Amino acid sequence: MTNPPLYEGKAKKLYATSNPSQLLLSYKDEATAFNGAKKETIAGKGELNNRISNLVMQELHKHHINTHLIQELNHTDSLVKKLKMFPLEVIVRNISAGSLVKKLGVSEGKVFDSPILEFCYKNDDLGDPMINTYHIIALNLATQEEIESISALALQINEILRPYFAKLQIQLVDFKLEFGIDDEGKICLGDEISPDTCRFWEMQTKEKLDKDRFREDLGNLTESYRVVLEKILSKGQ
Ligand code: ADP
Ligand code: UDP
């Protein structure tokens, strides 16, 4: 890419294309955690996330979920619909892990009877604080109707992906989604669904196959992401 990106985030760059309603999403090899405090370049990570996210979004297309993915362009880059993003991180949890364990004192690995849905305000300066629907409406981040649609979509995506990964002998512990509005005015899933944004545990061994390998200095990050990709390629199509 010769033109400067429209936006460079921690894990991806967004470039304009000749079509004003489309963007090129380019995955970087950067790994960050703890709101950017821990940072490292991990060769090959961008390529793995691009491929995994696209395969997962293609699976969602089969279930008529509207995602931004148009086409994978090469190993690290994809063409996507340009969205007007809600400044929200939508988190779905099936099993306790991460911040929930720290915040609520639940032990790691508790399987919930029903999924937990959380919203965070996407704002790095504030450390992406958790907010509720009253905050979202009062701060004009989304309307009541939009929150209801986003919540229903997030739970529907969980109902599709939990059994999809279970078939691959992977537990979908929790994950983060981001939504936006497309140029037809419809709510659309954006960003990525990858081991950077999901917790994946190998079903039998409970081995972590996601960014916790980086957060917790467990090593073998790309090897673990490759296990996820290989499982999807071998059985998830
Ligand atoms: P961050 O901004 O948190 O550092 P990334 O490095 O992943 O994260 O940057 C990707 C950015 O692109 C995010 O801010 C995300 O909200 C935004 N984004 C993702 N998909 C789209 C899309 N289809 N249209 C517009 N913006 C998008
Ligand atoms: N997550 C993410 N980006 C964020 C925060 C969370 O992709 O900025 C994902 C994270 O990978 C996990 C889920 O959302 O799959 C729940 O994360 P948690 O709240 O436990 O956050 P942590 O503090 O552990 O990142």
Query: Each residue of 82-141: pLDDT tens digit?
Result: 999 999 999 999 999 999 999 999 999 999 999 999 999 999 999 999 999 999 999 999
> Are residues 84 and 181 in contact, defined by beta-carbon separation less than 8 angstroms?
yes
Q: Alpha helix (H) ranges present in the chain?
A: 45-62, 98-104, 133-138, 144-166, 212-215, 221-235
pLDDT of residue 237: 67
Answer positive or negative: Cα dihedral of 222, 228, 229, 231: positive
pLDDT of residue 36: 87
Phi then psi for residue 213, to 5 deg, are -65, -35
The residues facing 22 across adjacent strands are 81
pLDDT of residue 79: 98
User: Where exactly does CATH 3.30.200.20 map onto the chain?
Assistant: 7-81
The residues facing 14 across adjacent strands are 7, 25
CA-angle at 120, arms to 215 and 152, nearest 5°: 110
Q: Which CATH superfamily is domain 7-81 in?
A: Phosphorylase Kinase; domain 1 (3.30.200.20)
pLDDT of residue 110: 97
Q: Which residues contact 12 (CB under 8 A, 6 or more apart)?
A: 25, 26, 27, 28, 192
State the first-to-last Cα distance of the chain, in angstroms, to the nearest integer.
31
Distance (Å, rounded) from C-alpha 125 to C-alpha 118?
19
Distance (Å, rounded) from C-alpha 171 to C-alpha 168?
9
Distance (Å, rounded) from C-alpha 77 to C-alpha 68?
13
pLDDT of residue 3: 87
For ligand 2, is residue 91 a contact (CB within 6 Å)?
A: yes
CATH number for 86-220 (one of 3.40.50.300, 3.30.470.20, 3.40.630.10, 3.30.565.10): it is 3.30.470.20
User: Where exactly does CATH 3.30.470.20 map onto the chain?
Assistant: 86-220
- Per the document, the length of the chain is 237
User: How close is the Cα of 177 to the center of ligand 2, in Å?
Assistant: 10
pLDDT of residue 209: 98
Kindly give the interhelix angle for 45-62 and 221-235, rounded to the nearest 10 degrees.
30
Site residues for ligand 1, CB cut-off 6 Å: 7, 9-12, 14, 23, 68, 80-83, 85, 178, 180, 190-191
For ligand 2, is residue 99 a contact (CB within 6 Å)?
A: yes
Both tokens assigned to 22? 């489309």
pLDDT of residue 143: 98
Measured from the alpha carbon of residue 68, the closest ligand is 1
Measured from the alpha carbon of residue 171, the closest ligand is 2
pLDDT of residue 175: 99
HSE of 148, CA atoms in CB hemisphere, 13 A: 3
The residues facing 145 across adjacent strands are none
Residues of the chain with pLDDT under 70: 1-2, 236-237
